[in-house]
Amino acid sequence: MARWTGTWLSGPETTLRELRDPEGWPGSRMGLPKEGSGSLAPFSGRAFAFFVDIVVSALVAGLINVFVEDPSGLQRQAAAYSVLALEHVLFVALTGQTLGMRLLGYKVVHLKDPDRVPGLVPSVLRTFPLLLTAGLLGFFTKDGRGWHDVIAGTVVVRD
């Protein structure tokens, strides 16, 4: 005799993502592979890479604030945001990776030309919306791509 809880405790057979797009995977509409190098980086990994960038920027900003005599709270925050913005703009423009992305094996690439690094303009276009929203969850597309990446024409993929 089957248990009466077996039908609803085991959960659905398909996920909500599979119901919305049964033939696809995150990044399939952009022409990205399902897994491996070049596939869309998962949100959890990107969030952790951003957290690593915030911690590193806070440490560098703390070192900068050591040399400022009696810094105000606004000066401390400005130093931290400036270091974070500088890290994102320069590192993404030159190498396609921030320190957190390099640590986790992700990189930022152009959708139209994935073989080259984004450059300065796309890097600036993706950094400032990212910092203004602090990577909020609601600012993502169906594919899991951030609006800051949509604006810049970039995507974060596995390296």
The pLDDT, as a whole number, for residue 55 is 94
How is residue 92 written in tokens? 């993404």
Distance, in Å, from the CA atom of 144 to the CA atom of 136, rounded to the nearest integer, reads 12
Q: Quickly state the pLDDT bin for 73 (edges 50, 70, 90).
A: confident
Query: How many domains does one find in the chain?
Result: 1
Does 129 fall in a domain?
Answer: yes
Q: Do the Cβ atoms of 127 and 101 come closer than 8 Å?
A: no
**pLDDT tens digit sequence for 56-71:** 999 999 998 888 888 8
For 40, the domain range is 36-158
Does 25 fall in a domain?
Answer: no
- Kindly report the pTM of this predicted structure: 0.78
